[in-house]
A and B are shown apart, each in its own frame.
Chain A
Amino acid sequence: MAIAVLVVGERVAGESPDVTFELLGRGRELADALSGELAVVVVNDLDEGAQFGIADVLYVVDGMDSASYSAPQWEAAIGAVIQRVSPQVVLVSTGTVGIDLAGALATKFNAPLASYVIDVTAQGDKLVVTSQLYGGKLLSEGEIDAFPAFVSVLPGSLPVEKGRAQGSPRVEHIDAGDQLRLSKGRGTELREPDTSGVDITSAALLVSVGRGIGSKENLELVAELAEAMKAPLSASRPVIDQGWLPKPHQVGKSGKKVKPTVYLAFGISGAPEHLEGMRSAETIIACNTDPSAPIFEVAHYGTTLDLFDLVPELTDIVGG
């Protein structure tokens, strides 16, 4: 039977990320609809193939350096597998590996690519994809009728448990040695996350701040509230990228996943990258002057008051 769907396993170090299982779960449905097999490719050494029981085939690319990551090497390795097995659909995530490689591979194979996808189904001889654009403010429903098709799924969009099944897929080793030797890059090291300083992952209450704070000076206002509440101060990506707070404070895809009892969000619009890191908080309370901010979709309580009016009142009540 032909390979209908190829899932790119994105494990670089440690455990396979949840999104790989999200892709496997949906990949199974797509493969069945397309009457073909479901395969998963891993480009690092792997001794736990059993966790990919939902797949029919596991491709292991031999000869990769597992102590590092290199975009050209991964591209060469995955490209070699696609070349060899000619899948109809390639599923990756719009996480680092997908952002890094999906566009390049789709270009190489002159294939369509849908990015920021939150839902994908097979309908007749087409794929229907829903993508989240403009930071979650708009959705695009689109169709793809040319194959192979690349679909890059936003992590956290599909159920994960469906894809986790014990079993024993057929294992095939693929030697991409020739392609790897030609690749114009090599990994040198993996750096583990910075764990110094604040630990935002174990706090029951987080006071979190986003772009709406406007400047580093204004941050003091929210820092005072955090101090009064004896809670750590966390932040969304723009605050970190501006250098207003150090990296260990970051919540989101490129920061930390947090699950406090209460997450207080001030001036955070709720970009997908941020929601990925905090949506499983027990209670989310959001303050944002934009009533259509996506944060209100995941928040339990919300207010459109200006944070500069609300925060001092909170500090007064808690501190006083």
Chain B
Amino acid sequence: MHIVVAMRQLADLVEELEVNGDGTDIDRDFVKFVSNEWDEAALEEALTIKDESAASVTVVALDEPDVDQTLYAALAKGADRAVKLTGHDPSAWVRTRERAQRIASFLAHEEFDLVLTGVQAADDLDGQLAGILGSTLDIPHAAVVVGVELTGSSLRVAQELGGGLVGVSELELPAVLGVQAARQAPRYASITRIRQAMQTQKIEEQEVSLEVTTPQVTVRRLYPPEKQGGATMLTGSAKDVATEIVNILRSKGLV
């Protein structure tokens, strides 16, 4: 069983995001990039499957800012191999359709049984990776996955269908899954383990050349939403604000 986990870097949403000069992308020079949190769930699910069976896990990501950190962390957590795809501008916005084609191009030369990736990324303007990748490779796919069961050559997945309803289905392998949540919270790799991985393991680089012709949305402008100014801001010390909040609750007979 060979599992490929497609991971990616994404602007850290905790930070302030500025728009670039021509107004069609974030200002990537001033953004901190981190691993997409849903991809971390996908990696965790893959590593859990590896813990249970004899699966091998390959992590693949496009060259993007600080991606080495993500790939070494994946190796430190137990992935067997890490591949970085090059051949594009690593400092530009790689749209999801192109991303899928690049990963598909890598997978075309791989023997694999299962591809796991995060259910979504916050800049997925052109749709979410799992379905696009599945369709590009012409293999079955499922997204919003919250449960994966692999027994021999059969794959059973649980998908969240909204409002808590869960659909369970079987898919033929190979398949692509967009993972919403792993069975357990993503494991932690200590700095020491990551350093060790950096010293003892290598990230493999593969160049992908691609003629991209996918029709896509043309972004005219990217802008922060207008402040509705909805919230009345409560200011003062913690005690002052707490008193105000309790007064609101008391006025409604709640405490």
Query: Which of A47-55, A82-90, A172-180, A188-196 lies at the binding interface?
Result: A188-196
User: A1 near B: Cβ within 8 Å?
Assistant: no
The A64-104 residues at the B interface (CB cut-off 8 A) are: 68-72, 95-97, 99-104
User: B152 near A: Cβ within 8 Å?
Assistant: no
**B87: chain A residues within 8 A (beta carbon):** none
Give the secondary structure class of A's interface: mixed
Interface centre among B17, B159, B178 (most CB of A within 10 A): B159
Known contacts A103-B135, A296-B230, A317-B243; A133/B123 CB under 8 A: yes
Binary interface encoding of chain B residues 80-102 relative to chain A, with 1 for a CB under 8 A from any of its CBs, else 0? 00000000000000001100100
Nearest neighbor of A193 in chain B, beta-carbon distance: B164
Contacting residue for A143 out of B165, B171, B218, CB 8 A: B218
Contacting residue for B134 out of A68, A104, A286, A298, CB 8 A: A104
Nearest neighbor of B38 in chain A, beta-carbon distance: A241
Known contacts A142-B219, A188-B168; A106/B127 CB under 8 A: yes
**A140: chain B residues within 8 A (beta carbon):** 125, 217, 219, 221-222
Known contacts A205-B254, A297-B230; A254/B139 CB under 8 A: no
Question: In the complex, are the beta carbons of B231 and A241 less than 8 A apart?
Answer: no
User: A135 near B: Cβ within 8 Å?
Assistant: yes
CA gap between A205 and B136 in the complex, in Å: 47
**A146: chain B residues within 8 A (beta carbon):** 215
**A198: chain B residues within 8 A (beta carbon):** none
Binary interface encoding of chain A residues 100-128 relative to chain B, with 1 for a CB under 8 A from any of its CBs, else 0? 11111111101111111000000000000
Contacting residue for A184 out of B41, B140, B156, B235, CB 8 A: B140
Question: In the complex, are the beta carbons of B135 and A100 less than 8 A apart?
Answer: no
Known contacts A107-B97, A191-B168; A302/B233 CB under 8 A: yes
List B residues at the A interface (Cβ < 8 Å). Answer: 11, 13-14, 16-17, 19, 26, 37, 41, 96-97, 100, 119-120, 122-132, 134-136, 139-144, 156, 158-172, 175, 178, 180-181, 184-185, 214-225, 227-228, 230-235, 238-239, 241-246, 248-249, 252, 254-255
**A230: chain B residues within 8 A (beta carbon):** 255
11 extra interface residue pairs, beta carbon distance < 8 Å, beyond A102-B131, A188-B169: A103-B129, A104-B141, A107-B132, A112-B126, A116-B125, A138-B225, A142-B125, A184-B140, A188-B156, A292-B16, A294-B225
Question: In the complex, are the beta carbons of B167 and A68 less than 8 A apart?
Answer: yes
Name the distance in Å between A181's Cβ and chain B's nearest Cβ: 13
List A residues at the B interface (Cβ < 8 Å). Answer: 12-14, 17, 68-72, 95-97, 99-108, 110-116, 129, 131-146, 150, 152, 183-194, 204-205, 229-231, 238, 240-243, 247, 253-257, 261-262, 264, 269, 283, 285-286, 290, 292, 294, 296-305, 309-310, 312-314, 316-318
**B215: chain A residues within 8 A (beta carbon):** 110-112, 146
CA gap between A194 and B164 in the complex, in Å: 7
CA gap between A242 and B38 in the complex, in Å: 11
**A152: chain B residues within 8 A (beta carbon):** 127
Nearest neighbor of B231 in chain A, beta-carbon distance: A302
Known contacts A99-B119, A140-B222, A262-B249; A302/B232 CB under 8 A: yes
CA gap between A305 and B231 in the complex, in Å: 14
CA gap between A191 and B157 in the complex, in Å: 12
CA gap between A113 and B233 in the complex, in Å: 38
Contacting residue for A139 out of B172, B185, B224, CB 8 A: B224
Nearest neighbor of B132 in chain A, beta-carbon distance: A103
CA gap between A297 and B132 in the complex, in Å: 33
CA gap between A195 and B97 in the complex, in Å: 39
**B231: chain A residues within 8 A (beta carbon):** 286, 296-297, 299-302
